[in-house]
Amino acid sequence: MFNDYGAVDSHSLTVQGVLNGMDRNADHLGSLIKELEGVFNGLAADVARPLMDKFKAALGNAAEGTGFQGQLQQVKNAIAQTTGSEGFLRETDHQQGARFLAIGGV
């Protein structure tokens, strides 16, 4: 069986590109919330603030590992560790191949 690690690397880069786009969108949403907080005042701020706080909590923070951005970072990390020519996929493939070779040598 042939595992094309180069193709896996290529697909991994494509997925990372999509995830980076999602991350940029989340950052943009966060900046929009900050702008809205600066614009709203009075009764509008009293009504909007709890909703914006709830949205900020759901959006989260990648560095803190919270919310959407935290989960997005976890997906990025898992892909980086698992796929391609330097990830767990290759490592596991080589370990299992060595086991089959050991069976033949008995």
Residue ranges per domain, the chain?
5-101
For position 29, what pLDDT does the model report?
A: 92
For position 105, what pLDDT does the model report?
A: 62
pLDDT single digits (tens) 8-63: 788 888 999 999 999 999 999 999 998 988 888 888 888 888 989 999 899 988 78
Q: How far apart are CA 64 and CA 51, in angstroms?
A: 21
Q: Are 86 and 2 in contact (CB under 8 A)?
A: no
Q: pTM for this one?
A: 0.70
Q: How far apart are CA 19 and CA 16, in angstroms?
A: 5
Q: Are 73 and 62 in contact (CB under 8 A)?
A: yes
For position 10, what pLDDT does the model report?
A: 86
Residues 6+ apart with CB under 8 A from 80: 12, 16, 87
Scored b (16 or more CB within 10 A) or e, 69-101 reads beebbeebeebeeebbeebebbeeeeeeeeeee
